[in-house]
Amino acid sequence: MKRIDEMNLKNKKVIIRVDFNVPLDKNLKIVDDNRIKESLTTIKYCLDNNCKIILLSHLGKVKKESDKVTKSLKPVATRLSELLNQEVKFIPATSGRLVSDAVNNMQDKDIILLENTRFEDLDGKKESGNDPELAKFWASLGEVFINDAFGTCHRAHASNVGISKYIKESCLGFLVLKELDNLLPIIKEPERPFVVILGGAKIVDKIGTIKNLVNIADYILIGGAMAYTFLKAKGIETGKSLIDEESLAFCKEMLDKTNKIILPIDHVKSLDMESDEYLIGDNINSEEIGLDIGPKTIELFKSYLEKAKTCFWNGPMGYYEKAIYQKGTKALCKIISNLSITSVVGGGDTASCVINMGYKDKFTHVSTGGGASLELLEGKELPGISI
Ligand code: AMP
C-alpha cells in the first residue's frame, strides 16, 4: 500500500479511517485522548492540502441497542474540534441520506466525523463482518481512502479493509507509518542486547508473539499474572494467583526450550486482591495471591535492562488498577526512562500505564495498538496494511 506522502491529495475529498477508540468514563468524558492527538498529523496534512475530510472510526464493541448511548463518538468530535481549533461536524449516523447529504454539502477544509462504525454491527455485523455493500457506500463518499487506524490493522472490517476495494486510491496515514517505522525494526534488526518485557494476565492471546520473540530476543523478562503461569509450569507454588490454565503446557514447552526467560524472584502478595494489606516475600503460600513484582525482581530486571540496547514492553507488572500494586510497573517506567536505549511500548494497558504515569515522552515509541502491535511482532502480515 502507498504512503500518504506519495499521493496527490490537493483539493481531494478524503476518507480517513482513524482510531478514536478512546476510554470514556461514566459521564462519557474522555479519560485518555492520546489516540485523538496521534491522529492530528494526518488530519492537519489533509487540511494543508485543502481537502474535504470525512472521518470514520469505531469506539468499543456495539452488541445491543443500549450500547449506542455509551459508545457514541460525539464527545470525540468535541475534543477533536478543541485540538484543531476548528469545527468538526458530528453526523449522528453511519450510512443513509443524513451521511450522503452532509458529505455533498462539504466545503474545502471541512471536517465531518460519522457516528461509530460499529453501530452497523447491530444490523448483521456489517462493519466487523466486512459487508461489501456497506464498504461500497463508505467508499462512494470520497476519492481517496487513508488508513490511519493502526489499532484495527489486524482486523479486516468494512471501514478499514473493505472500503479500499471500492475506492480509486488508498494509502497509509502518518500514524500507521510511524507505528511501522518503530515496530518493524524490532523484529527485523534489533540493536542487541534486545530485551522483551511481558506482563498482564492472559498468555493465550500472546502465544504467537512469544514464540516469535523467543527466537529474536536475547532475554524475556516476565512479570504480571503471566509470571505465575510460568512459575506454576515450573512446579513452583503460586497459591491463589491468577493462572492462565490453558497455557500451562505452552509455558512448560517454552521453559524447556530456552533459558532466555527470566521470572520474578520475589512478590508483592495478599490474601485478598481488594484488601489494602499486602506482604513482600520470595515465596507465595497456598493462601496468597501474587499481585506485583517485588523489589528484588525490580533489581533483577534492571540489571538486564541496563545492558540492553533495545527493549519492547507489553503488559503491566502487576494488578495496576489498584494503586498499591503499581510499583513494579512504575519502577520499570523509571528505569527505562533513565536509559539511552530504543524503548517501545506495545499499546493496550501498558501504553495507558506509561501515559498515565507521565512517562510517554521518555520512550522511543508508545504504540496506539495493543493487538495490532502484538500481531506485527508475531511476524504476521496485517490485513489493514497489506490492502
Ligand atoms: P492482559 O489483558 O493480558 O494484557 O492483562 C492486563 C491485566 O492484567 C490488567 O488488568 C492487570 O491488572 C492484570 N494483572 C497484571 N498482573 C496481575 C496479577 N499479578 N494479578 C492479577 N491481575 C494482574
Q: For 110-156, how does the pLDDT look when each residue is reduced to its tens digit (9 = 90+)?
A: 999 999 999 999 999 999 999 999 999 999 999 999 999 999 999 99
For the CA of 202, the nearest atom of ligand 1: 3
What is the pLDDT at residue 77? 98
What is the pLDDT at residue 185? 96
**What does the CA dihedral 211, 222, 338, 361 come to, rounded to 10 degrees?**
60
For the CA of 321, the nearest atom of ligand 1: 12
What is the pLDDT at residue 387? 64
pLDDT tens-digit profile of 320-334? 999 999 999 999 999
From the CB of 133, is ligand 1 less than 6 Å away?
no
The catalytically annotated residue of 202, 211, 322, 380 is: 202
What is the pLDDT at residue 57? 98
Q: What is the mean pLDDT of residues 71-77?
A: 98
pLDDT tens-digit profile of 9-43? 999 999 999 999 999 999 999 999 999 999 999 99
Residue of the nearest CA to atom 11 in ligand 1?
A: 319
The catalytically annotated residue of 12, 35, 206, 330 is: 35
From the CB of 290, is ligand 1 less than 6 Å away?
yes
Query: Is 239 annotated as catalytic?
Result: no
Where residue 347 falls among pLDDT bands split at 50, 70, 90?
A: confident
What is the pLDDT at residue 121? 98
The catalytically annotated residue of 199, 239, 346, 348 is: 348
Buried b / exposed e along 3-21 (16+ C-beta atoms within 10 A): ebeebebeebbbbbbbbbb
**Rounded CA gap, 58 and 63, in Å?**
13
> Per the structure block, which three cell numbers stand in for 177?
507509518
The model's pTM is: 0.95
Residue of the nearest CA to atom 14 in ligand 1?
A: 319
What is the pLDDT at residue 324? 97
Query: Is 371 annotated as catalytic?
Result: yes
Q: Is 275 exposed, middle or buried (0-12, 13-18, 19+ CB in 10 A)?
A: exposed
Where residue 336 falls among pLDDT bands split at 50, 70, 90?
A: very high
Q: Which domains does the chain have, with CATH numbers?
A: 2-176 (3.40.50.1260), 183-377 (3.40.50.1260)
Evaluate whether 23 touches 356 at the Cβ level (below 8 Å): no
pLDDT tens-digit profile of 241-273? 999 999 999 999 999 999 999 999 999 999 999
Query: Is 235 annotated as catalytic?
Result: no
Between the CA of 320 and the centroid of ligand 1 the distance, in Å, is: 7
Where residue 386 falls among pLDDT bands split at 50, 70, 90?
A: confident
Query: Is 192 annotated as catalytic?
Result: no
User: Which phi and psi angles does 220 have, rounded to 5°?
Assistant: -125, 110
Evaluate whether 200 touches 318 at the Cβ level (below 8 Å): no
